Structure 1
Amino acid sequence: MIRWRKGEVAAIRREWPGAMELDVALPEGSCRALAYPPVVGRPEPGDTVLLNTTALAMGLGTGGYAMVVALPDRLPEDPQGPGHLVKARYTPLQATVLGADEQDSPFHELLREADSVDGMPVVVADLHSALPAILCGLFGPPSPAGGAARPRVAYVMLDGGALPAWFSMAAARLREIGWLCGVVSTGQSFGGDVETVTVHTGLLAARHVLAADVAVVAQGPGNLGTGTRWGFSGVAAGEAVNAAAVLGGRPVASLRVSEGDARERHVGVSHHSLTAYGRVALAPAQVVVPDLPGAFGEKVAAQAAVLAGRHELVTVPVDGLERALRASPVKLSTMGRGLEQDLPAFLAAAAAGRHAATLLG
């Protein structure tokens, strides 16, 4: 199940909040490794590191790193302070965090009886790569003259992909420049600005702790799929629609669309979206159908039409969205494809953001 290696840190390649990318020398060569200093301590050149090389050996795209498990010769100090929520429970690296909804939290009283997000738009997406594109559509292309203040947007991270929120360089950068007012990690995921037990308390924390005007809900990087109707982590998108609705939010469903995927089941509207929104989501949502040109746009509209019995389909124009996407402050990439290889994928997500903007008072 796990491939173990011991190596020595040769160099620090780069850092972002909560994560470090390293070059590690191994007996059989060298590799790129990722460490989370809040969990294992801060590695320095010359340190011995214990690695999990499973994903690296499998050649996984998103997770193609060796993961630093420990610095056996220089363990970090014991953590201090409150926090009783255990995430990644009963794994060797289970971590204890302070949850916004637990009794020791300063926000416990605020969340103890909280039961509504007060009509907040909640944009739900399958893939983590939709997050920056949704924000590009929500904020629109940059204006030389400035404009109205941007709405506060919180990213509510599901635990179907990466568990550490620190893994996402995009989320870290979006947080740094103020495009996100914060990251909320839910379920078994951890490392957000706010930690919560469920997607429900995650949405409540986004609204009442971070004072978000809009929430974007998606899994972390590293979507899991098996090519079967039900065996993919994105089914949680349908459950997120239900959570948003039961809490008095306004669910906006972003379709997973592709023109460049080699797999037929993902061409046009992905079967992931059709299952998550058509079968799992029991509450109605506004499903955003991007008004894409030509025969491909007609294909997307026809596929999305099967969702009309349960949801409200909202056709959103995409004019101007490519310009907004090209001005993205973070790299846009989905399943290894960028704007040039799969523009409709990003236009569909940006259209959902554009529609969410119209729901703000």
Structure 2
Amino acid sequence: MISKRVGIVESIVDQSNGLDDIRVSLNGEIQRAYNYTKMTGKINVGDEVVLNTTAVELSLGTGGYHFVIANLNNLESNLTEGGHIMKLRYTPFQVKVDSVEEQESVYHEKIDKFESLENMPVVVGTLHSMLTPFVASYKKNNPNKKLVYIMTDGAALPIYLSKNVDTLKSKGLIDSTITIGNAFGGDYECINIYTALITAKEILNADCVFVSMGPGIAGTGTKYGFTGIEQGPILDAIKKLNGNPIAIPRISFADKRDRHVGISHHSITVFKDIVNVGVNIPITNYEEEKLKLIKTQIENNNLDENHIIRFINNNSTKEDLDYFGLKVRSMGRNYDQDKEFFDAASSAAYYVMEVCDGSRRKDY
């Protein structure tokens, strides 16, 4: 159920592409809220707004903000002028998008005549925080290659919520974005992962593709009850379309939960029980004791029998991030607090350069 309250806009702290970070007066307190301008219109100080307060009332860490449902002083909004495909279907918030697949689309014929991804490298992460270190390492070494980001609907649905995407696009490090399923707001809209991959190849001429959900992730502590499980079917789709599936393992030595130490049980579950094809899994050559644990996990779960495990020398993650002035954070931890996590994403970029296209220097 949705908890709704009416508040007054007190200030507009920040405005970026499609997202307003505002402060509202609610129950006598000043509280934070987000307004999606393309969905709920332009906002001004003093406006009376209807807010979805559910997440804050539940004290959620993910999605723990108020969101504007409607601006009572401005009911006009315009997500898109064309298109016939609905996202957030059959809800009061359903939006119309111009999808590349639909028959009226100028891209319809290219999508329909697609044959193969021709071994195009597609890297699949499970957390949105894997995006920035991957992009930094890939683009620092390949500034002229086209990198496309596909955002799934496993977490946040509007791409506007992602400050990471906004920053990376403004710096020219992501060339194009695609949103799929019920996620929306990308440069291109697609119905599913298959047509998104085809769009990246046939329409955007991508050299490399990164796929992950938007900000936020849901987990329950059960074997299959986490949104990152989508990594398995996505890897299957890449292989089915004759692409090169590359999986980023979730690795940490800072997480206090035993099930996430070393290779997370999320990744082990995907690689062992969910994905149906052999995939490429880059592993950073961490320090000896940490690498020993990871190798034991690989051996105990027979991951090397079904997948190609490649160990990558990589001490450049922080340098790559600093080169572009990028900061990273995942689960409340920055690079120095959880370097192995971010190194895993960066090493996937070095895997692409080392194995897929040979662009990595040979003197590492």
Map Cα deviations across residues 145-192 of structure 1 (whole Å, 9 max, x no partner): xxx643211111111100111110101111121111111101111010
Q: Distance in 2 between matches of 1:346 and 1:22?
A: 30
Give the match for residue 15 of structure 1.
15
Unaligned runs of 5+ in 1: 142-147
Letter in 1 for 2:97: V
Unaligned runs of 5+ in 2: 359-364
For residues 82-93 of structure 1, the aligned pairs below 5 Å read 82-93=82-93
Compute the displacement of 1:79 (Å). Answer: 6.3
Q: Distance in 1 between matches of 2:298 and 2:115?
A: 32
Give the match for residue 202 of structure 1.
196
Q: Distance in 2 between matches of 1:80 and 1:354?
A: 38
TM-score by length of 1: 0.94
Map Cα deviations across residues 228-261 of structure 1 (whole Å, 9 max, x no partner): 0000000100111101111111011111001111
Which residue of the other structure, out of 350, 354, 357, is the alignment partner of 1:360?
A: 357
Q: Does 1:182 align with 2:173?
A: no
Q: Does 1:320 align with 2:325?
A: no
Where 1:309 maps in the other structure, the secondary structure is helix
Where 2:245 maps in the other structure, the secondary structure is strand
Q: Distance in 2 between matches of 1:239 and 1:220?
A: 17
Q: Distance in 2 between matches of 1:149 and 1:73?
A: 45
Map Cα deviations across residues 112-155 of structure 1 (whole Å, 9 max, x no partner): 121322211000111010001111232347xxxxxx64321111
Compute the displacement of 1:295 (Å). Answer: 0.8
- Distance change (3 Å), C-alpha of 1:79 and 1:122: closer
Is the Cα–Cα contact under 8 Å of residues 4 and 51 in structure 2 kept in the other structure? yes
Greater relative contact order (CA < 8 Å, ≥ 6 in sequence): 1
Give the match for residue 154 of structure 1.
148
Where 2:7 maps in the other structure, the secondary structure is strand
Q: Distance in 2 between matches of 1:39 and 1:117?
A: 34
Give the match for residue 337 of structure 1.
333
- Distance change (3 Å), C-alpha of 1:327 and 1:77: closer
Is the Cα–Cα contact under 8 Å of residues 140 and 354 in structure 1 kept in the other structure? no
Where 1:32 maps in the other structure, the secondary structure is strand
Is the Cα–Cα contact under 8 Å of residues 159 and 189 in structure 1 kept in the other structure? yes
Q: Does 1:221 align with 2:215?
A: yes
More displaced stretch, 55-64 vs 21-30 = 55-64
Is the Cα–Cα contact under 8 Å of residues 170 and 331 in structure 1 kept in the other structure? no
Compute the displacement of 1:328 (Å). Answer: 4.7
Q: Does 1:276 align with 2:248?
A: no
For residues 158-307 of structure 1, the aligned pairs below 5 Å read 158-305=152-299, 306-307=302-303
Where 1:25 maps in the other structure, the secondary structure is strand
Compute the displacement of 1:309 (Å). Answer: 1.6
- Distance change (3 Å), C-alpha of 1:304 and 1:135: farther
Where 2:104 maps in the other structure, the secondary structure is coil
Where 2:333 maps in the other structure, the secondary structure is coil
Is the Cα–Cα contact under 8 Å of residues 196 and 202 in structure 1 kept in the other structure? yes
Letter in 2 for 1:9: V
Map Cα deviations across residues 85-117 of structure 1 (whole Å, 9 max, x no partner): 111111211111000111121111111121322
TM-score by length of 2: 0.94
Q: Does 1:311 align with 2:282?
A: no
Give the match for residue 145 of structure 1.
none
- Distance change (3 Å), C-alpha of 1:238 and 1:79: closer
Is the Cα–Cα contact under 8 Å of residues 140 and 321 in structure 1 kept in the other structure? no
Q: Distance in 2 between matches of 1:284 and 1:77?
A: 46
Q: Which runs of 4+ in 1 moved over 4 A?
A: 77-80
More displaced stretch, 192-201 vs 327-336 = 327-336
Is the Cα–Cα contact under 8 Å of residues 100 and 189 in structure 2 kept in the other structure? yes
Give the match for residue 26 of structure 1.
26
Q: Distance in 1 between matches of 2:80 and 2:174?
A: 28
Q: Distance in 1 between matches of 2:211 and 2:97?
A: 21
Give the match for residue 107 of structure 2.
107
Give the % identical residues. Answer: 34
Give the match for residue 362 of structure 2.
none
Q: CA RMSD in A?
A: 1.6
Q: Distance in 2 between matches of 1:68 and 1:317?
A: 46
Q: Distance in 2 between matches of 1:56 and 1:149?
A: 41
Compute the displacement of 1:78 (Å). Answer: 6.0
- Distance change (3 Å), C-alpha of 1:234 and 1:80: closer
Matched positions, count: 355
